[in-house]
Amino acid sequence: MKRRVVLVDDHGLFLAGVRAELGDAVEVVGDARSVAEAVPLIKEVDPDVVLLDVHLPDGSGDAIINAVAPERPGVKFLALSVSDAAEDVIAVIRAGARGYVTKTIAADELAAAIERVAQGDAVFSPRLAGFVLDAFRAGTEVGGDAELNELTPREREVLQLIARGYMYKEIASRLHLSVKTIESHVSSVLRKLQLSTRHELTRWATEHRLV
Protein backbone atom coordinates (compact mmCIF):
# COMPACT_ATOMS: atom_id res chain seq x y z
CA MET A 1 0.00 0.00 0.00
CA LYS A 2 1.31 3.41 -0.92
CA ARG A 3 1.87 5.87 1.88
CA ARG A 4 -0.36 8.93 1.82
CA VAL A 5 1.79 12.04 2.13
CA VAL A 6 1.16 15.76 2.63
CA LEU A 7 3.90 18.23 1.63
CA VAL A 8 4.30 21.49 3.51
CA ASP A 9 6.75 24.01 2.05
CA ASP A 10 6.43 27.65 1.09
CA HIS A 11 8.47 27.27 -2.10
CA GLY A 12 6.24 26.29 -5.01
CA LEU A 13 9.22 25.15 -7.08
CA PHE A 14 10.39 22.86 -4.34
CA LEU A 15 6.90 21.39 -3.84
CA ALA A 16 6.66 20.60 -7.53
CA GLY A 17 10.18 19.14 -7.51
CA VAL A 18 9.51 16.81 -4.58
CA ARG A 19 6.20 15.72 -6.10
CA ALA A 20 7.93 14.83 -9.36
CA GLU A 21 10.86 13.12 -7.66
CA LEU A 22 8.71 10.99 -5.41
CA GLY A 23 6.65 9.99 -8.44
CA ASP A 24 4.84 6.73 -7.82
CA ALA A 25 6.71 5.85 -4.65
CA VAL A 26 4.07 7.54 -2.48
CA GLU A 27 0.66 9.09 -2.94
CA VAL A 28 0.83 12.85 -2.42
CA VAL A 29 -2.65 13.71 -1.11
CA GLY A 30 -2.13 17.44 -0.65
CA ASP A 31 0.26 20.29 -0.19
CA ALA A 32 0.29 23.51 1.79
CA ARG A 33 2.48 26.59 1.86
CA SER A 34 1.88 27.93 5.35
CA VAL A 35 1.00 26.91 8.88
CA ALA A 36 -2.53 28.32 8.43
CA GLU A 37 -3.07 26.26 5.29
CA ALA A 38 -1.41 23.11 6.57
CA VAL A 39 -3.25 22.56 9.87
CA PRO A 40 -6.82 22.20 8.49
CA LEU A 41 -5.54 20.27 5.46
CA ILE A 42 -3.71 17.68 7.56
CA LYS A 43 -6.67 17.31 9.90
CA GLU A 44 -8.95 16.76 6.91
CA VAL A 45 -6.96 14.30 4.80
CA ASP A 46 -5.33 12.50 7.75
CA PRO A 47 -2.18 11.36 5.89
CA ASP A 48 0.39 8.79 7.00
CA VAL A 49 3.29 11.19 6.80
CA VAL A 50 3.71 14.96 6.60
CA LEU A 51 6.90 16.24 4.97
CA LEU A 52 7.49 19.47 6.79
CA ASP A 53 9.68 22.50 6.11
CA VAL A 54 11.22 23.83 9.31
CA HIS A 55 10.67 27.48 8.32
CA LEU A 56 7.34 28.75 7.01
CA PRO A 57 6.21 32.31 6.37
CA ASP A 58 3.74 32.35 9.26
CA GLY A 59 5.58 30.25 11.81
CA SER A 60 7.82 27.25 12.20
CA GLY A 61 7.15 23.58 11.59
CA ASP A 62 6.67 22.77 15.24
CA ALA A 63 3.58 25.02 15.31
CA ILE A 64 1.91 22.64 12.85
CA ILE A 65 2.90 19.59 14.86
CA ASN A 66 1.60 21.14 18.08
CA ALA A 67 -1.71 22.03 16.43
CA VAL A 68 -2.28 18.70 14.70
CA ALA A 69 -0.77 16.05 16.96
CA PRO A 70 -3.43 16.08 19.74
CA GLU A 71 -6.23 15.44 17.22
CA ARG A 72 -4.41 13.20 14.78
CA PRO A 73 -1.97 11.11 16.80
CA GLY A 74 -1.49 8.72 13.87
CA VAL A 75 0.10 11.34 11.59
CA LYS A 76 3.90 11.14 11.47
CA PHE A 77 6.08 14.15 10.72
CA LEU A 78 9.38 14.23 8.88
CA ALA A 79 11.25 17.54 8.81
CA LEU A 80 12.83 18.51 5.52
CA SER A 81 14.89 21.65 5.46
CA VAL A 82 17.80 23.66 4.19
CA SER A 83 18.21 25.27 7.58
CA ASP A 84 21.62 24.93 9.11
CA ALA A 85 20.56 26.08 12.55
CA ALA A 86 20.73 23.24 15.06
CA GLU A 87 18.21 24.81 17.42
CA ASP A 88 15.52 25.05 14.72
CA VAL A 89 15.92 21.42 13.83
CA ILE A 90 16.03 20.28 17.44
CA ALA A 91 12.87 22.33 18.13
CA VAL A 92 10.92 20.50 15.43
CA ILE A 93 12.17 17.13 16.67
CA ARG A 94 11.24 18.01 20.23
CA ALA A 95 7.74 18.99 19.05
CA GLY A 96 7.35 15.44 17.76
CA ALA A 97 8.86 15.06 14.29
CA ARG A 98 10.19 11.54 13.69
CA GLY A 99 13.25 12.70 11.86
CA TYR A 100 15.09 15.33 9.86
CA VAL A 101 16.60 15.14 6.41
CA THR A 102 18.20 17.86 4.33
CA LYS A 103 16.68 18.99 1.04
CA THR A 104 19.67 17.65 -0.88
CA ILE A 105 18.53 14.09 -0.11
CA ALA A 106 18.19 11.79 -3.14
CA ALA A 107 14.66 10.85 -4.21
CA ASP A 108 14.95 7.14 -3.41
CA GLU A 109 16.42 7.91 0.01
CA LEU A 110 13.56 10.31 0.69
CA ALA A 111 11.00 7.65 -0.26
CA ALA A 112 12.78 5.19 2.04
CA ALA A 113 12.80 7.76 4.85
CA ILE A 114 9.05 8.35 4.44
CA GLU A 115 8.42 4.62 4.63
CA ARG A 116 10.55 4.28 7.74
CA VAL A 117 8.81 7.18 9.47
CA ALA A 118 5.39 5.77 8.50
CA GLN A 119 6.32 2.55 10.26
CA GLY A 120 7.05 4.51 13.40
CA ASP A 121 10.84 4.48 13.14
CA ALA A 122 13.11 7.49 13.35
CA VAL A 123 15.11 8.95 10.49
CA PHE A 124 18.39 10.59 11.40
CA SER A 125 20.41 12.24 8.69
CA PRO A 126 24.15 12.58 9.36
CA ARG A 127 23.63 16.24 10.14
CA LEU A 128 20.89 15.60 12.67
CA ALA A 129 23.04 12.94 14.31
CA GLY A 130 25.77 15.57 14.64
CA PHE A 131 23.35 18.08 16.17
CA VAL A 132 22.12 15.50 18.68
CA LEU A 133 25.61 14.41 19.67
CA ASP A 134 26.46 18.07 20.12
CA ALA A 135 23.44 18.63 22.35
CA PHE A 136 24.16 15.54 24.44
CA ARG A 137 27.90 16.11 24.54
CA ALA A 138 29.61 14.56 27.53
CA GLY A 139 29.59 16.92 30.45
CA THR A 140 28.74 16.87 34.10
CA GLU A 141 25.05 17.18 34.43
CA VAL A 142 23.68 18.23 37.80
CA GLY A 143 20.27 16.88 38.74
CA GLY A 144 17.60 15.85 36.28
CA ASP A 145 16.76 12.41 35.06
CA ALA A 146 20.11 10.86 34.17
CA GLU A 147 18.50 8.17 32.06
CA LEU A 148 16.84 10.77 29.86
CA ASN A 149 19.64 13.30 29.93
CA GLU A 150 22.50 11.06 28.86
CA LEU A 151 23.01 8.83 25.85
CA THR A 152 24.22 5.31 26.49
CA PRO A 153 27.65 4.45 25.02
CA ARG A 154 25.90 2.24 22.46
CA GLU A 155 23.51 5.02 21.40
CA ARG A 156 26.44 7.38 21.08
CA GLU A 157 28.26 4.84 18.94
CA VAL A 158 25.24 4.39 16.66
CA LEU A 159 24.78 8.14 16.29
CA GLN A 160 28.47 8.64 15.51
CA LEU A 161 28.25 6.08 12.73
CA ILE A 162 25.12 7.77 11.34
CA ALA A 163 26.97 11.08 11.40
CA ARG A 164 29.86 9.45 9.54
CA GLY A 165 27.44 8.52 6.77
CA TYR A 166 26.77 4.85 7.53
CA MET A 167 23.38 3.35 6.78
CA TYR A 168 21.52 1.24 9.34
CA LYS A 169 22.46 -1.96 7.54
CA GLU A 170 26.14 -1.02 7.55
CA ILE A 171 26.03 0.00 11.20
CA ALA A 172 24.35 -3.28 12.10
CA SER A 173 27.03 -5.39 10.43
CA ARG A 174 29.82 -3.25 11.87
CA LEU A 175 28.52 -3.52 15.44
CA HIS A 176 27.34 -7.13 14.99
CA LEU A 177 23.76 -6.19 15.79
CA SER A 178 20.48 -6.58 13.90
CA VAL A 179 18.99 -3.67 11.96
CA LYS A 180 16.00 -3.83 14.33
CA THR A 181 18.31 -3.22 17.29
CA ILE A 182 19.87 -0.23 15.55
CA GLU A 183 16.38 1.12 14.86
CA SER A 184 15.41 0.75 18.49
CA HIS A 185 18.56 2.59 19.59
CA VAL A 186 17.70 5.46 17.27
CA SER A 187 14.09 5.55 18.47
CA SER A 188 15.34 5.64 22.03
CA VAL A 189 17.57 8.62 21.18
CA LEU A 190 14.56 10.33 19.64
CA ARG A 191 12.54 9.73 22.80
CA LYS A 192 15.31 11.16 24.96
CA LEU A 193 15.55 14.15 22.66
CA GLN A 194 11.85 14.83 23.15
CA LEU A 195 11.74 14.25 26.89
CA SER A 196 15.18 15.31 28.03
CA THR A 197 15.62 18.25 30.34
CA ARG A 198 19.29 18.63 29.53
CA HIS A 199 20.30 22.22 29.79
CA GLU A 200 21.43 22.59 26.17
CA LEU A 201 18.06 21.46 24.89
CA THR A 202 16.18 23.52 27.44
CA ARG A 203 18.28 26.54 26.65
CA TRP A 204 17.62 26.20 22.95
CA ALA A 205 13.93 25.86 23.62
CA THR A 206 13.86 28.84 25.96
CA GLU A 207 15.79 31.05 23.61
CA HIS A 208 13.20 30.33 21.00
CA ARG A 209 10.28 30.71 23.40
CA LEU A 210 9.07 27.19 22.90
CA VAL A 211 8.67 26.30 26.56
Partner 1 sequence: MPIRSFTRSTDGRALAGVCAGIAQTLGVDVTLVRVVFALLALAGGAGIVLYLALWAWSASARPWWAILLLVFAGALLLGAIGISDRAVLGIMLVAAGLAVAWRQGRNLRIEAPLSYGGLALAGLGAIVLLEGGGAATRVLAPGAVAGALLLVCGPWLWRLAVERDEERAARIRTEERADVATRVHDSVLQTLTLIQRHAAEPRRVASLARRQERELRGWLYADQPIGDDSSSLVAALSAAAADVEELHGVRIELASAGDAPPDTALVLAAREAMTNAAKFAGVEEIDVYAEVGRDEAAVFVRDRGVGFDPAAVPDDRRGISHSIEDRLRRAGGTAIVTTRPGGGTEVELRLPR
3-class secondary-structure state, position 202? helix
Considering only 133, 186, 190, 205, the residue that binds partner 1 (CB under 8 A) is 133
Pick the closer one to partner 1 by CB: 63 or 133. 133
For the bound state, the minimum distance from the C-beta of residue 184 to partner 1, rounded and expressed in Å, comes to: 22
Considering only 25, 69, 85, 107, the residue that binds partner 1 (CB under 8 A) is 85
Q: Which of 75, 77, 76, 94 shows the shortest CA–CA distance to 86?
A: 94
- Specify whether the backbone of 51 is left (phi greater than 0), alpha (psi in -120 to 50) or beta: beta
Of the candidate spans 28-36, 72-80, 159-167, 179-187, the one that interacts with partner 1 by CB under 8 A turns out to be 159-167
Task: Identify whether the C-beta of residue 182 lies closer than 8 Å to the C-beta of residue 154.
Answer: no
What backbone phi and psi angles, to 5 degrees, belong to 5? Answer: -125, 140
Pick the closer one to partner 1 by CB: 3 or 156. 156
Q: Which of residues 65-84 bind partner 1 (CB under 8 A)?
A: 82-84
Considering only 129, 158, 193, 201, the residue that binds partner 1 (CB under 8 A) is 129
Distance CA 36, CA 62 (A): 13
Burial class (CB in 10 A: 0-12, 13-18, 19+), 115: middle
For the bound state, the minimum distance from the C-beta of residue 124 to partner 1, rounded and expressed in Å, comes to: 10
Residues that bind partner 1 (CB under 8 A): 82-85, 102, 104, 125-127, 129-131, 133-134, 137-138, 160, 163-166
